[in-house]
Structure 1
Amino acid sequence: MESVVNAAHAHGITTLTLDSPANRNALSATLVGELRAALAAAGADPQARAVVLTHTGGTFCAGADLASPCDPADFLALLREITDLPKPVVARVTGHVRAGGLGLLGVCDLAAAGPGSTYAFTETHLGLVPAVISAPLLPRLDPRAAARYFLTAEPFDAAEAVRIGLLTLHAQDVDAALAPVLAGLGKAGPEALAETKRLVTAPVREALARDGAALAELSARVFGSAEAREGLTARFERRDPSWAR
């Protein structure tokens, strides 16, 4: 089988590319496993100063692979490993992000998007709960905005994502906008960079350590509920679920 996470190395930057466009880079067991392995390799590479996480296709990550979802505990482990990585992780987004994909943005240290990207916490429309991803996101997001978008599943654009704290920046040319960011990381001392990352990620790491296991259990329980089965069936059948008004 071809890899769904590809790694490249240049100028002290390891770029990890989610490359499963057929399912919109959804969080399958395979993708989560390969991404965890690639991050571990980048963390152990003395030549890598930072990691860029990007994607192929028009979607950065569509959230859980509904046909073959990963174990919530494995997804939780991935999120914790990104926050614990001793090197900054920078998300580069040029497409859409949905549900669990927003959790990946939440644990990245910096996140930049190009034009046309959109965002939505789609879980409630499927009878699901944004459980595990709430741990890294609630410490970062504007509380009123988090309540609105978690509850309503409304889509929003990159400018709004910056305003509420989901993204660091957005620009017409995301690579040009990221150039000074990556240059700054390249000039930083590796040990100083690691310790500074620990400072700025403290609230996210604390939330994941405190609440992660319970949230993973909640996610698994809700995913097996009758309401979720109806929501997922409706999605596959391209109809509204029975509760929709």
Structure 2
Amino acid sequence: MSVVVTHAEGVRRIALDRPQKRNALDTATIAALCDALVAAGADASVRAIVITGNGPHFCAGADLAEMRANPGDRERFAMTGWMMDAPRTIGKPIIAAVHGSALGAGAALALACDAVVMTDDACLGWPEARHKMMPRVVAPGLIARVPPGVAFDLLATGRPMPAPEALRFGLAARVVPPEALLTEATALATAATLLPPEALLELKKMIAG
């Protein structure tokens, strides 16, 4: 399984589970994550959702080996877009718990969630330029949330953004020690369940503009 799903006290935890690949997103993992989000959204026993990664990293981004083997895979492209949109269509809090690196599509997935909690040694990054690739799918969430000069710096150089900087620019809601990550993300997810799903979905749409 490329995704592990657990449930406790109304919180559904969805963990990317390809630690040997730094949780890189291949087609099977994207499909499993999308299915898990749909299932969590439809399950009345789920009040909130936390997305994280097993192993040392949250997500290394797209699986480059698969992309190079199938460069014109429209299905993967479409599924990736749906994955980025899905958190905004579910009337439940969705929190990204980021440790290690969240790169490219991994960073975009984190920012697509309602809020991001990061460990103090984690980083976000958009390294597509280093691979001579345009970040068309993964950049919009960043561009919408930081000044143009900051977006240019991150996207054109591919440099990582450490957690304290992510907090300063509002990309991370909270930065905590590694041992507190899942506790803090779960607490934030639970605290954000005051509104019923229909109202929370409306709030998400208001925030997205």
Using the size of structure 1 for normalisation, the TM-score is: 0.76
- Deviation string, structure 1 residues 115-158 (Cα, Å, up to 9, x no partner): 32122211111111111112222112233211111111112210
Map of 1:43 onto structure 2: 41
SS of the residue corresponding to residue 87 of structure 1 reads coil
- Larger Rg: 1 or 2? 1
Pair 1:125 & 2:125 matched: no
* Equivalent-residue separation in structure 1 for 2:80 and 2:186 (angstroms): 30
Deviates more, 1:173-182 or 1:40-49: 173-182
Moved beyond 4 Å, runs of 4+:
none
What RMSD over aligned residues (CA atoms) do the two structures have, in Å? 1.7
Cα distance in 2 between the residues matched to 1:20 and 1:67: 14
Which residue of the other structure, out of 9, 18, 21, is the alignment partner of 2:19?
21
Please give the alpha-carbon distance, in whole angstroms, between the structure 2 residues aligned to 1:104 and 1:52.
12
In structure 2, the partner of 1:161 is 166
2:66 aligned counterpart, secondary structure: coil
Secondary structure (helix, strand or coil) at the match of 1:106 reads: helix
Q: Distance in 2 between matches of 1:12 and 1:141?
A: 33
- Aligned residues with identical type, % of pairs: 31
1:135 corresponds to which of 119, 136, 140? 140
Distance in 2 (CA, whole Å) between partners of 1:59 and 1:161 is: 17
**Which residue of the other structure, out of 172, 178, 188, is the alignment partner of 2:195?**
188
Deviation at 1:179, TM superposition (A): 5.1
Q: Which runs of 5+ in 2 are unaligned?
A: 68-72
Deviations 1:25-79 (A, max 9, x none): 1110010010011000011011111110011111111111011137222201111
Is 1:146–2:176 an aligned residue pair?
no
2:55 equivalent in structure 1: 57
Whole-Å separation in 1 of the counterparts to 2:79 and 2:185: 30
Partner Cα distance (1:18, 1:137) in 2: 22
What residue ranges of structure 1 are gaps of 5+ in the alignment?
203-245
Judge conservation of contact 2:129–2:157 (CA < 8 Å) in 1.
Answer: yes
Pairs within 5 Å for 1:5-16? 5-16=3-14
CA distance in 2, matches of 1:10, 1:176: 12
Aligned length: 200
CA apart distance, 1:20: 0.5
Is 1:93 matched with 2:98? yes
> Scaled by the length of structure 2, what TM-score is found?
0.89
Q: Structure 1 residue aligned with 2:64, among 63, 66, 72?
A: 66
Is residue 178 of structure 2 the alignment partner of residue 170 of structure 1?
no
Distance 1:86 1:180 in 2: 18
Deviations 1:158-211 (A, max 9, x none): 001112232111112224433542332244333322221222133xxxxxxxxx
- Native 8 Å contact 2:93 2:193 kept in 1: no
- The answer to whether the Cα contact below 8 Å between 1:106 and 1:140 also exists between their aligned partners in 2 is no
